[in-house]
Each structure stands twice: as structure tokens, then as C-alpha cells.
Chains A and B, each alone.
Chain A
Amino acid sequence: MEKLLEVNNLHVSFDTYGGEVKAVRGVDFDVHKGETLAIVGESGSGKSVTTKALMQLLPKPPARIKEGEVLFEGRDLAKLSEKQMQKIRGKDLSMIFQDPMTSLNPTMKVGNQIMEGLIKHQKMSKGEAKRRVLELLELVGIPDAESRMKQYPHQFSGGMRQRVVVAIALACNPKLLIADEPTTALDVTIQAQILELMKNIQKKTDSAIIFITHDLGVVANVADRVAVMYAGKIVEIGTVDDIFYNPQHPYTWGLLGSMPSLDSADEDLYAIQGSPPDMIAPPKGDAFAARNDYALKIDLEQEPPMFKVSDSHYAATWLLHEHAPEIEPPESVKRRMKGMARSASGNSEGDQL
């Protein structure tokens, strides 16, 4: 597969009254044409900041890209001027923001907002653009599109606003779509429709998607690969099967364990203890150590490197070091690793741990 995006050693900080917030602290990943990379991780771990940095959408100041490069089709986006970026944004690169209310203009009719990009980037006539808007609204499941396009955002429900935002992002058939919690505000049936829609468009145009979500069910549905972020770093990355059936990092175990399953209402949810680290003064060593039941002495001293699990699978935990003790994930996690739907391949992989 052809490499579309390559992020190398990205560091992003915010200069605030309290000090420098080190939001992203050395992130590396690739995205290939036609693939979907899901980014999961704790709230505040830097998912949105990472992707906004790719799009050069962070306000500077207070934001600052301290180090690193963002190669899109070989060109370093971090070095482009705002004018050059504007040409790429909304055409080759498109983003669905986490916050649907502020990404829509409250004083502008919904239809006009979608038409704007079509006229600007696709050079459509007004009539063409209007027809395309109706088509897009119907595509994302907004009934009665003709009259809805004349309404203002506040007249839409949260989920409907979100669907409009999806429609805007898809309007230009981007090469890379960054979707930040695009379906979080949606009920499961509409969510399923939107996910199918995104997959269909992806198949047709061979576009790549970076999909940020905390819903691991959605990840299992859309992702080819998954990156798990914690405290401004990627702590585990692999194929969707690697991450769900053979997770290595204790933080990933925590994520998988905290999902309720449909038939186990009485068991207490496994919650990762404690709170996220202060990103002004990130802890020494492994940032997750203080909350990690399986922390080793070295975790408090030295940051773990990325250990290779397989060609597709890497994780930053000292537990993978050859001298580390053998440690098994907690029972609730092992159960989930076997697959909630108790699938055959889930079983065999789960047993290896």
C-alpha cells in the first residue's frame, strides 16, 4: 500500500499561564492510501491536538509545533504557509471536528454552509452545488432535506448537526479524512449508516481515514489499524486484531476492560484508577506507571521504548523486555480478548497470553 501520510517525532506544546502544556510528546505513525487508522486513548491524551497539528489548525500562540514533520504525499505540511495550507484543506485534507456546534456557523443557514466549500473548492455553480447539498444531506440521513437546508444550526438536534458536519467533510472527496469523534453524538442506527457511508466512499475514492473515537465497538467496526495514545504518546499500535485479541500495554488492557458487555450487567466495570498526568510536568519514566497495577521499578525511572511484538504490532511497555516477569492481563480483560461474541479466532489468539 502506498504511503499517504507520515508523521515523524511530532511534539506540540501550549504556552499557558501555568507553564508549557506538553500535549503531544513525540508521535510517529503512517497512514496508507485506502486504510482507516483509529486513534483511541484517554481524554486529554492528545488525539485532537495531534490531528489538528496535521491540519495546521492549532492557534499559534498558544500552540507551538516544537519538533517533527508531517509528510503528506512527501510534502512537509508543517513547513507550508497558511495560504498553501488553505488550498489543501477542504480539498485533499478534510476534518470532521469533535465539536459540531462550533464547527458550524450559527448565523448561516445549513445549506449555504455546505454549498460554500463546493463552490470554492469544486468550482461548482450555485445550482449544481444546491443539488449536491440535497444529495449529501440525504446521504447522511437527514430527512426532508429541501426544507432542512434553509434552517439554522440551533434548530437541529445534536446528532443532526453532526451529520451536517459529516456531509461537509465528505463533500469534496478528500484524500485524507480526519474524523474526530464523528459519530459520538449519534444513535447506533444512524451511526451504523454513517460508518457504512464513510466506508463506501472510502472504497470508491481510495481515501484514507484517521478515525478518533473512544467507542471500541466502532473501532472494531471501522479500523484496519489502531493507535492507542496515552499522555501525548502512542503507547501501542497494531492491526485491529492485534489490539483487540492480543493487547500488550496495560493501558490498552484497561481500555478493553472498561467496556460493559451486554450480558454482564452485575459485574463492576473495570475502571483505570487515578487521573491523567499533569501535562505541564509529565512524570519521569513511563507516564502510566502511577496508575498501572503492573508497573515495574524501571517504569518510574526510564521511559519504555517501542518494543516489537510482530511486524505490524508495537507497544511501549517494559513488560515486553526480555527480563520482565511474565504477567497476565486481568480476567475481565482476558474474557474480552476472547471476543465478546466468542468468535473462534478470538479464542485461539486470546490463549497465547
Chain B
Amino acid sequence: MSQESLLEISNLKQHFKTGRHSVIKAVDGLNFNIYKGETFGLVGESGCGKSTTGRTIIRLYDATEGEVYFNGENVHGKKDKSELKKFNREMQMIFQDPYASLNPRMKVEDIIAEGMDIHGLVENDKQRKEKVHDLLETVGLDQEHANRYPHEFSGGQRQRIGIARALAVDPSFIIADEPISALDVSIQAQVVNLMKQLQRDKELTYLFIAHDLSMVKYISDRIGVMYFGKMVELADADELYKNALHPYTKSLLSAIPLPDPDYERSRVRFNYDPSDHDTSEEPEFREVGPDHWVLCTTNEFEHYKKQLATV
């Protein structure tokens, strides 16, 4: 993995107006980079803004504030149609909800081939069919499935169709929003092994949004932890699991269910109480150790540094 950034996200904000006077700050000032060829895992509480972050990066929403640079170019500044098209092909998204994200009136073949058609990637019908069949096989489905409609598939099967669709246009960056949550573990392993292999073969970069922490740890190079629209901790995957500093990260780690009944019977969870924080000043995102960032106040910063030094 290089240290060259593919994406730079700078002070990104996404605020939704939900009433005349009420605003939800779904994403509230994110700063982070995603390196070329890496998998960046994004985890955090339900509703903390992970999907919104992904959707804003890929420009499904206009950002309220802030910038996203892709290969050094400002994504949100683009207006030119052909440039937009090129960019759309580079970045693809696999959606969280395999039910809502597939058009129920389209055959699987056409769902998968839609992007190839838009970007003129196939020359004739025969080639189109072949590519669709290859893709179906790649994601562990059957050629026969090409002629069926989404409602004829189970949840997990639909998610694999979504993955095939994203892969169809040969993107360089994929935002995978909980791509495996709807899959059973054996298919999860297949898909994760597949994503890793595709990453090696095609030098793909991933933003991997998930809440299954054991899988995130397994697939990610670095992991960012979000809480209420903000990034509270960011570190190498191993470092984060070994030396979590932010209490929210600790509570997440303590809640991972393990496939071991005896362990589960005696599990102890660590609860996060946001009011336990030092409130003497606004917390900032600070580098506590090499490439280990935590949202903290000056007092907490000193405290965390000492904590890291003792391990």
C-alpha cells in the first residue's frame, strides 16, 4: 500500500434541514485521506453518518461545506458533463439496502449492464451477455440468473447483484456501504476474499462501511470510527484493536459478539457515556501516536499520550 492519497476529504459537512428550525448535522467536519490501494474501514453507531459520508463523497448529495479531492481534483467543483461522466465511472457505490437499490422492473442482466451501456464499454449484444455472465460468476451467482428479476432473489443474492453492477464499469474506487451485512457468513467470506483479490488484481481502493467489526478488522488497512457526524478515532486496523483510546471505540470493541456461547454467557460490555468527557474546551482531532488520531481536548490529549506510552 502506498502513502499516496487517492482521496482527500477536507472539513466535509452534510446538514439536512428537517424542519423550519431543525437541522440534522449528519456529517459535521470530517478530515481524512484514503490512500491508493488501501481499504479504509468506516465504523460507528447506527445513524452516525457513515452512509451520508459515502453518499456525499460520491456526490449523491451536494456537500453543505468542505471539499473532496479525487486524484488531486476537486470532485464537488466539477461541472463539465464529460468530466463528470469520467469521474462517475472511477467511483462506484455498493449500497446498504439490497432491496431498494435494484430497479424491480429491470432484468438482472440489464441492471448489471446499465453502467457498461452508459459508458460504452461493450460493442455488441454477445459481448454484453458474456461480460454479464462473467460478472455473475465472479460474485457467486449463476448465468441463469441473468434473465430473472430482483424480487425472485433472496436478500443476499440481491446484494451480490449490486456488487456485480459496481464492478461492471471497472472503477478504481469503490464505496461499499455495508456490502456484506445482508449476506450469510459463508458468502461473506467469499465476497470478502473476492474483494481482496479484486483489489490486488485491479489495484482498487475501498471505502468499506460496516458495523461488523471482526470483518472490518479483517479487510481494512486503516479504520475510522465515527460518532454523531464526527470522526472520533482513526488508526491502523491492528493499532485500533490493540490500543483503542477513545471511550466510544472501546465500547464498540467490547460489544463485538463472538461465535462462542460460553464467552457470550459471561461477556462484559463497556458502556460509553458522552458526558464523561472533559468539557473545558472544544475537542479537536489530534495525532496521539504515529498515524493514530483521536478527537480530544488538550487534557485528554496528554492523558492519551501517556496511555499509549505505557503499552
Chain A: residues with CB nearer than 8 A to chain B?
Answer: 16, 18, 21, 40-45, 48, 98-99, 101-102, 147, 151, 155-160, 162-163, 181, 184-192, 214-221, 240-241, 244-245, 254-256, 258-262, 265, 268-272, 275, 278, 336, 339-341, 343-346
Contact = CB atoms under 8 A, between A and B. Distances in A.
A262 B99 contact: no
Nearest to B18: A155
Given A159-B46, A261-B258, 7 more contacts: A162-B46, A191-B211, A245-B261, A255-B184, A258-B188, A265-B237, A271-B189
A307 to B, nearest CB: 23
B97 A157 contact: no
B289 to A, nearest CB: 20
A162 B99 CA distance: 14
A43 B154 contact: yes
B183 A220 contact: no
B214 interface: yes
Contact of A191 (B141, B190, B255, B258): B255
A277 to B, nearest CB: 10
Interface of B: 16, 18, 22, 24, 43-48, 51, 96-97, 99-100, 140-142, 144, 148, 152-157, 178, 181-190, 192-193, 211-215, 217-218, 237-238, 241, 251-252, 255-264, 267, 269, 272
B27 to A, nearest CB: 12
Contacts of B215: 260
B211 A259 contact: no
A239 B207 CA distance: 38
15 contacts: A21-B152, A98-B182, A147-B22, A158-B46, A159-B47, A186-B46, A189-B269, A191-B255, A220-B257, A254-B186, A258-B188, A265-B217, A269-B192, A270-B189, A271-B193
B262 A343 contact: yes
A43 B187 contact: yes
A240 B261 CA distance: 7
Contact of B258 (A271, A341, A345): A341
A3 B215 CA distance: 38
Contacts of A215: 185, 212, 257
A344 B262 CA distance: 9
B188 A214 contact: yes
B183 A43 contact: yes
Contacts of A241: 261-262
B264 A217 contact: yes
B249 to A, nearest CB: 11
A306 B92 CA distance: 46
B259 to A, nearest CB: 4
A160 B47 contact: yes
A278 B144 contact: yes
A42 B272 CA distance: 34
Given A43-B157, A147-B22, A217 B259 contact: yes
B263 A341 contact: yes
Nearest to A343: B262
Given A214-B183, A259-B214, A270-B189, A341 B18 contact: no
A16 B153 CA distance: 12
A44 B46 contact: no
Q: Which 3 A-B pairs have the closest CB atoms?
A: A159-B46, A43-B156, A217-B257
Contacts of A192: 255, 257, 269
A191 B218 CA distance: 20
B251 A189 contact: yes
Nearest to A275: B140
A260 B218 contact: yes
Given A216-B259, A336-B259, A340-B258, A157 B189 contact: no
Given A188-B211, A269-B218, A341-B263, A217 B46 contact: no
Contacts of B185: 214-216, 255, 258-259
A44 B157 CA distance: 7
A271 B51 CA distance: 28
Contacts of A269: 189, 192-193, 218
A99 B188 contact: no
Nearest to B187: A43
B264 A221 contact: yes
B189 A187 contact: no
Contacts of A343: 260, 262-263
Contacts of A272: 186, 189-190
B190 A271 contact: yes
Contacts of A156: 47
A181 B190 CA distance: 20
B156 A341 contact: no
A178 to B, nearest CB: 16
A265 B47 contact: no
Nearest to B211: A187
A42 B24 CA distance: 38
A270 B22 CA distance: 48
Contacts of B148: 18
From B212, B217, B238, B272, name the one whose CB has the most chain A CB atoms within 10 angstroms.
Answer: B212
Nearest to B136: A275
Contact of A101 (B100, B186, B193, B255): B100
